[in-house]
Amino acid sequence: MIKLDIGKFLTIPELVKANIHLGHHYGLWNRQMLPYLYGIWKGFHIIDVLQTARLISKTYFYLLRTSQNANRHFLFIGTNPLIKSVTKKAAQTAGCFFIDHEVTSGLLTNWLVMKQRKFLFEFLDQITLPVIRAILPILINRSEEEQEFFVTLLTRHQILWSELNGLKGLVTLPRCFIFVDPIYDYELFAQALILKRTLVGLVDSNCNPEHFVAPIPANNDNFMAVKFIFEFLSTAIYRGKLKKFKQSFTRRYIYKLYTFFSLYHHIHLSNLLYWTFLHQKTLVKMPQASY
């Protein structure tokens, strides 16, 4: 039983109930995962749940500490159709960016080129699309060329939305990537290795945990298992950002109080010196000029 700072305990029955311990077939295993495996059952590897609980706790406090930094952002990556809803919900809960659809190759490594596509998507989403929806009843009586033009814009927006919907407002690439399944998203995983980003994620029996700063041995193909773990990860990031906001708010409040009292003290001191000077000027007799 491992206690986190959110008042919740990690227990072995909960991990087993979420099917976190189920791995892949023994013929598909990666030898680097040997320290995290418990044994083989009916031809499938069984993941050591004690190791999983320990590493979930370690990753939780790592994300909690990392999310308190000023310029630290996170990117959730999970394009598996069975798991992408969990990826999106966890990222939205933590206030992070996410990728939940298959994207164009070179999205991360060719970021300067992809920024143009992102700019086009934001332009269509914020400016062009509301105008098209407003004049949609009028387009029925227009010519076929105009209708085809607006249909092309809508189709283009739909394609860009599926790729870049989770990257709205992203200026630079985040420093930390959180993967659901690095084998399924191997192309994005390879790009993250090229960019030398910090990697956090779930590693199944067929994955290599050496590339991860905080690997979590677990079943990354099961909906309940991924949802159970990502609730902890998103909570850690959310609490870290909330703590950072409270600290920054307290600092700003103290700074405003300090500037107010220092300004008040300065004004009060200057007034005191001014009136003291006038008082001394009236008391001291000025020498009269001799003619």
**What does the alpha-carbon distance between residue 13 and residue 95 come to, in Å, rounded to a whole number?**
30
Q: SS3 for 44?
A: strand
- Which residue ranges of the chain lie beneath pLDDT 70? 1-9, 70-72, 132-142, 245-291
Q: What is the pLDDT of residue 254?
A: 56
Q: What is the pLDDT of residue 288?
A: 43
Q: What is the pLDDT of residue 8?
A: 56
Nearest CA to 184 out of 266, 65, 51, 84 is that of 84
pTM of this structure: 0.75
Nearest CA to 234 out of 117, 78, 21 is that of 78
Q: What is the pLDDT of residue 179?
A: 92
Asked if 216 and 201 touch (Cβ cutoff 8 Å), the reply is: yes
- The yes or no reply on domain 8-105+173-242 and CATH 3.40.50.10490 is yes
For 266, phi then psi, to 5°, come to -65, -45
Asked if 41 and 16 touch (Cβ cutoff 8 Å), the reply is: no
Q: What is the pLDDT of residue 76?
A: 93
Give me the amino acid identity at 269: L
Q: What is the pLDDT of residue 1?
A: 52
Q: What is the pLDDT of residue 285?
A: 41
Q: What is the pLDDT of residue 178?
A: 92
Domain ranges of the chain: 8-105+173-242, 109-165
Structure tokens belonging to residue 138: 């009028």
Asked if 173 and 196 touch (Cβ cutoff 8 Å), the reply is: no
**What does the alpha-carbon distance between residue 24 and residue 31 come to, in Å, rounded to a whole number?**
13
CB atoms within 10 A of CB 110: 13
Which residues are paired to 97 by β-bridges?
75
Q: Would the CA dihedral through 244, 203, 33, 14 be positive or negative?
A: positive
Asked if 236 and 93 touch (Cβ cutoff 8 Å), the reply is: no
Q: Would the CA dihedral through 80, 18, 45, 76 be positive or negative?
A: positive
Nearest CA to 176 out of 76, 38, 53, 30 is that of 76
Tens digit of pLDDT for each residue in 112-121? 788 888 877 7
